């Protein structure tokens, strides 16, 4: 079984809809991250969490919110989706000072 | 602030030829550096990492990278390209200066391998 899972893998939604992307990990890591990937821009950090009570904004947090429900679960929400949020979204986990492990990604399309 | 620059958004090499993907970083403190690979429709997979031990780092699939402090570079190389190396490659630096150690990614280099 995969160490980092994301659901859904693909989602098409309409402008103005609320949507939640979910991430779960079995690696026992405290640190979790949400990124978005756009062609030519690499990966940009949306939010990150170092433990259940610690949530931090990344470089592009506007229009997004997160919830850390447990050590193993970190959800990303778009309260009112807009077309320029169409992207590939990745969740990642890490232990302190170690490499990050990535999920398979969620491809989100906002019409 | 720390940053990463990957020179060349697209690189093409012939099968069997040398692969060289360039990465330059900016960091006010000794950096942790990483190379990741992304195959089509997949997540990112760690190729190798530099964490202040040996400056020549060997990774998976025959890749290696050399940390050169004087040039602020961490270029990725492979002596002989295979068709299966076609993918997108990302260099990343860990934000040690802020104490958070979160990643800052380069914009990626897509490698094409020609038969």
Task: List per-residue pLDDT tens for chain B, 115 residues long.
Answer: 788 999 999 999 999 999 999 999 988 777 899 999 999 888 999 999 998 778 899 999 999 999 999 999 999 999 999 999 999 999 999 887 777 788 999 999 999 999 9
Whole-number pLDDT of residue A40: 86
Closest alpha carbon within chain A to B90: A42
Query: How many of the other CB atoms lie within 10 Å of CB of A15?
Result: 11
On average, the pLDDT of chain A sits at 94
Q: Which helix (H) or strand (E) holds A66?
A: strand A65-70
A-facing residues of B in 33-72 (CB < 8 A) are 34, 36, 42-46, 49, 51
Whole-number pLDDT of residue A77: 98
The two tokens of residue A48 are: 């990150």
Q: From chain B, pick out residues whose CB is under 8 angstroms from the CB of A90.
A: 43-44
Closest alpha carbon within chain A to B31: A97
Whole-number pLDDT of residue A1: 62
Residue B62 phi, psi (nearest 5)? 85, 5
Whole-number pLDDT of residue A27: 93
The two tokens of residue A81 are: 């989706």
Rg of chain B over CA atoms, in angstroms?
Answer: 14
Whole-number pLDDT of residue B3: 87
Chain B interface disruption, residue of A25, A36, A42, A95, most B CBs within 10 A: A42
Whole-number pLDDT of residue A33: 96
| Closest listed residue to residue B3, CA positions, set B27, B20, B19, B23 | B27
Beta bridge partners of A5: A24
Q: Using CA atoms, how far apart are residues A3 and A101, in angstroms rounded to an integer? A: 8
Whole-number pLDDT of residue A75: 98
DSSP tag of B55: S
Whole-number pLDDT of residue A67: 97
Q: Which residue has the tokens 């961490």?
A: B74
Q: Which helix (H) or strand (E) holds A69?
A: strand A65-70
| Closest listed residue to residue A33, CA positions, set A111, A85, A105 | A105
The two tokens of residue B7 are: 């020179």
Q: Using CA atoms, how far apart are residues B35 and B40, in angstroms rounded to an integer? A: 17
Q: Using CA atoms, how far apart are residues B56 and B91, in angstroms rounded to an integer? A: 16
- Chain A positions contacting chain B at CB under 8 Å are 4, 33, 35, 40-45, 48, 50, 56, 58, 90, 92, 96-97, 99-105
Whole-number pLDDT of residue B114: 96
Q: Using CA atoms, how far apart are residues B78 and B85, in angstroms rounded to an integer? A: 10
Helix residue ranges, H only, chain A = none
On average, the pLDDT of chain B sits at 92
Whole-number pLDDT of residue A38: 93
Q: Going residue by residue through chain A (111 aa), what tens digit of pLDDT does each one get? A: 679 999 999 999 999 999 999 999 999 999 999 999 998 889 999 999 999 999 999 999 999 999 999 999 999 999 999 999 999 999 999 987 778 999 999 999 999
């Amino acid at each position: 079984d995969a160490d980092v899972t994301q659901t859904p893998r693909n989602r098409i939604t309409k402008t103005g809809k609320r949507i939640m992307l979910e991430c779960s990990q079995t690696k026992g890591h405290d640190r979790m991250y949400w990124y978005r990937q756009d062609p030519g821009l690499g990966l940009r950090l949306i939010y990150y969490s170092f433990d259940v009570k610690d949530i931090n904004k990344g470089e592009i947090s506007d229009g997004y919110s997160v919830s850390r429900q447990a050590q193993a679960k970190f959800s990303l929400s778009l309260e009112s989706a807009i077309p320029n949020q169409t992207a590939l979204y990745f969740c990642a986990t890490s232990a302190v000072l170690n490499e990050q492990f990535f999920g398979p990604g969620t491809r989100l399309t906002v019409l | 602030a720390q940053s990463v620059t990957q020179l060349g958004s697209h690189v093409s090499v012939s099968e069997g030829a040398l692969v060289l993907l360039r990465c330059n970083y900016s960091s006010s403190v000794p950096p942790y550096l990483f190379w990741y690979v992304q195959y089509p429709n997949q997540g990112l997979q760690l190729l190798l990492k530099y964490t202040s031990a040996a400056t020549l780092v060997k990774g998976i699939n025959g890749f290696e990278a050399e940390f050169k402090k004087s040039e602020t570079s961490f270029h990725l190389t492979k002596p002989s390209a295979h068709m299966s190396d076609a993918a997108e490659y990302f260099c990343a630096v860990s934000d040690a200066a802020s104490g958070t150690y979160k990643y800052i990614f380069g914009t990626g280099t897509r490698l094409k391998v020609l038969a």
